[in-house]
Amino acid sequence: MNPVPGDRRRPDHPSSPADAAFSRGERRQILWLGLTLVPFVLVLFGGFGRENPLVVAAVTGLAIVAASMYLSWAVEGLESVVSQAVALAVLALIEVAPEYSFSVILAWQQRTDLVVSSMTGSNRLLLGLGWPAILFLAWLGARRRRRPFDGIRLSSHQAVEILFLLIASAYAFVIVLRGSITLLDSLLLVALFLAYVWMALRLPPGDDEEEPAIGIGTKVKRLPPVRKALVIGGFIAFGAFVIFFGAEPFIDGVIGVAEGFGISQFFLIQWVAPFLSEFPESLTAFLWAATVVHAPKGMANLVSSKLNQWTLLIASIPIAYSLSLGRPAAMPLSPVGVEELLLTAAQSLLGVLLLTELHFSKLEAIGLLGLFAVQFVLPVESVRMVVAGIYLVLAAAFLVVRLARASLFGELARALAAVSGRRR
């Protein structure tokens, strides 16, 4: 999961060794995911089926899913090992690896349209499908428990995160108008993310809250120190090995499959690759959502993911593109790339504006999911532009009607006062 700055929890202390042990089912899950390394090594290093793009894409894709799961568990475990400041820096780097490797490799290969497809697909999946999934899982959980449910209310600590996501979403329109992604964009977006981290680290701690004992990542936190270090180290090593050696063959395999079967390369890179890396990372958030009481934590997890992607992901692209050329350069956007980025920026702007009241309702989730479904099922230029227009009209209407009473600004004022007080 992605780190949620300002959410400072008590370290986990298992009440007994049994509490820290993996169950039989969890050990089996770890084993089966680890076994994906066998065909991965045979294909990439043994040459078995290497000439068949479908085999390469399938084998590397499965290993990347396993790597994403392992890295997600390692991230959760690391949160209880190092200080929060170090964790934020290390965890951000770990979390970006699966999603960003695809865009960085494509930028290195100078496949500019496919870069945009990968970048926009991961962002639109996260907001258009992931955020509504959190709410609907929480709603189903509430119905099963016969509890009232009026949406997801975010913690006041998320106000800072939402503000920076709002700034990043607005800045994306600058890139759209310019028609290129530059190294100056990289500098500004990295600075924006670091400013967010700096401010979040200075927030007072929130209310202590018992973290839900869900999933392998939580169990990793509760392991004895030596065993915890070995498990985290193993998970990170597995994930780094697969991402380093498998990301480029996977991309090439997907492109080869598209060519062989007459499928759009743009479509496969936009949706298949991001889904493989996003779903494992989001699984813990979905499990939290199903508990209802921890649904805000699950939502905060995906908001954090969105901020990481909308800053660091975009920032990495012109850097890789410039390195591939051997000189500083802006990565140009084609007309299709501009349209895709405009649609993604419009979706992001509406999504983050919906959260300025620190509340996410069923109606809002249905709206985001419905608009995402339309542009996914009908991926033609006219539909994309109509949906982008709808996002922008709704965002403008929200600004006029609801922003004045949004909770975000009151919480931000308190957060800034807290930061100022802590500095003094």
Q: b or e along 63-97 (b: 16 or more beta carbons within 10 Å of the residue's beta carbon)?
A: bbbbbbbbbbbbbbbbbbbeebeebbebbbebbbb
Q: Look at the alpha carbons of 20, 26, 32, 37 in this order and tell me if their dihedral is positive or negative.
A: negative
Express each pLDDT in 368-394 by its tens digit.
999 999 998 887 888 889 999 999 999
Q: Is residue 364 within 8 Å of 408, Cβ to Cβ?
A: no
180: number of CA atoms within 13 Å, CB side?
A: 11
- Per-residue pLDDT, averaged over 226-230, amounts to 88
Map residue 53 onto helix, strand or coil. Answer: helix
Tell me the one-letter amino acid at 365.
A
Residue of 326 and 300 predicted with greater confidence: 326
The CATH architecture of the domain made up of 17-423 is Up-down Bundle (1.20)
Express each pLDDT in 232-257 by its tens digit.
899 989 988 998 898 889 988 988 99
The pLDDT confidence band at residue 14, using thresholds 50, 70 and 90, is very low
Distance in angstroms (rounded) separating the CA atoms of residues 193 and 191 = 5
Nearest CA to 386 out of 346, 354, 351 is that of 346
The percent of residues in the chain predicted with pLDDT above 70, rounded, is 81
Map residue 286 onto helix, strand or coil. Answer: helix
Report pLDDT for 108.
92
Q: Would you list the domain boundaries of the chain?
A: 17-423
Task: Kindly write down the DSSP assignment for every residue of 53-71, as one continuous string.
Answer: HHHHHHHHHHHHHHHHHHH
Q: Phi first, then psi: give them for residue 246, nearest 5 degrees.
A: -105, -20
Report pLDDT for 9.
40
- Whether residue 169 is predicted with pLDDT greater than 90 in this model: the reply is yes
- Whether residue 174 is predicted with pLDDT greater than 70 in this model: the reply is yes
The token pair that represents 181 in the structure block: 């992604």
Report pLDDT for 235.
92
Express each pLDDT in 335-373 by its tens digit.
999 999 999 999 999 999 999 888 899 999 999 999 999
Report pLDDT for 271.
86
Residue 360 is given by DSSP the state: E
Kindly report whether the global pTM for this prediction surpasses the value 0.75: yes
Report pLDDT for 322.
96
Question: C-alpha 131: how far from its chain's center?
Answer: 11
- Whether residue 208 is predicted with pLDDT greater than 70 in this model: the reply is no
Express each pLDDT in 49-72 by its tens digit.
889 999 999 999 899 888 888 887
- Whether residue 410 is predicted with pLDDT greater than 70 in this model: the reply is no
Report pLDDT for 3.
46
**Maximum CA pair distance of the chain?**
64
Distance in angstroms (rounded) separating the CA atoms of residues 287 and 278 = 15
- Whether residue 2 is predicted with pLDDT greater than 80 in this model: the reply is no
Residue of 101 and 28 predicted with greater confidence: 28
Residue of 291 and 415 predicted with greater confidence: 291
The token pair that represents 117 in the structure block: 């497809």
